[in-house]
Amino acid sequence: ETGVTQSPTHLIKTRGQQVTLRCSSQSGHNTVSWYQQALGQGPQFIFQYYREEENGRGNFPPRFSGLQFPNYSSELNVNALELDDSALYLCASNLGGAGTEAFFGQGTRLTVV
């Protein structure tokens, strides 16, 4: 059983650029969520995908978008990067439902300069 894997592990981008982060969910998990963790803060919910459809979104602007593929892997896209987007981006997969265990990847550290 493979865990949640994210790529890349680190990334440096310039303000105004676009970035794509990738996540492979744990085997058998059909739900993927993305979280942003700023330095010294707890993770904040960006959005969740269930069977290729977005089914929940946090308080993030539309320039944060995502995709989920038929194999349940996922992408997070951020357009028009701002300095405040610098953070650890975490992907989590689960079997759906508010009470199920979410399995987290190691995250992608994004630095915007």
Q: Which residues bind other proteins (CB under 8 A)?
A: 4, 31, 33, 35, 40-45, 48, 50, 55-56, 58, 90, 92, 94, 96-107
The nearer residue to other proteins, 66 or 105, going by C-beta atoms, is: 105
Residue 41 Cβ vs other proteins, minimum distance, rounded to whole Å: 6
Tokens in use for 18? Answer: 């676009």
The nearer residue to other proteins, 18 or 106, going by C-beta atoms, is: 106
CA 14 to chain centre: 19
User: What is the DSSP secondary structure assignment for residue 11, as one 8-state letter?
Assistant: E
Residue 32 Cβ vs other proteins, minimum distance, rounded to whole Å: 11
**Enclosing H/E stretch for 77:** strand 74-78
Residue 91 Cβ vs other proteins, minimum distance, rounded to whole Å: 8
d(CA 46, CA 33): 7
For residues 60 and 77, the answer to whether their CB atoms sit within 8 Å is no
Tokens 């650029």 belong to residue: 17
The nearer residue to other proteins, 56 or 61, going by C-beta atoms, is: 56
